[in-house]
Amino acid sequence: MSQRTQEIKARVTEFLSLTEEATVMVTELNCQDDDCPEVETIIAIFRASQPKIQATLHSSIDEITEAEIERFCKNAQDVLQAEATVSVSDATNQPI
């Protein structure tokens, strides 16, 4: 695993305050479709019993900027907050 991959994983984990139970995946792929760039990077967060959070960036791992990482984290944070709101609302709407 490259140093840059480790840096991206650490930055995502830190920004989102993820626990050790969450897995952050950073994978660079060669795109075979005519309408996509030659290389793309997928950043994904996996958590037990939760939907995956994922984004595709149209650049190599080494080309990903801090701004792109922050944008992914902010979008992921919105998803995490929405999930927390649904969980709380589901819990409060349960009959006693």
Q: What are the extents of the domains in the chain?
A: 3-87
What dihedral angle (degrees, nearest 10) is formed by the CA atoms of 2, 3, 4, 9?
90
Confidence at residue 86, expressed as pLDDT on a 0 to 100 scale:
63
pTM of the prediction?
0.80
Q: Quote the CA–CA distance of 10 and 14 in Å, as a whole number.
A: 6
Options 1.20.1070, 3.40.50, 3.30.70, 3.30.160; CATH of 3-87? 3.30.160
Pick from 64, 24, 61: which is nearest to 44 by CA? 24
Confidence at residue 87, expressed as pLDDT on a 0 to 100 scale:
54
Q: What is the pLDDT of residues 73-84, one digit of tens each?
A: 999 999 888 877
Average pLDDT on 41-56 reads 92
The better pLDDT of the pair 34, 65 is held by: 65
The torsion angles phi and psi of 17, rounded to 5 degrees, stand at 50, 50
**Centroid of chain to Cα 16:** 9
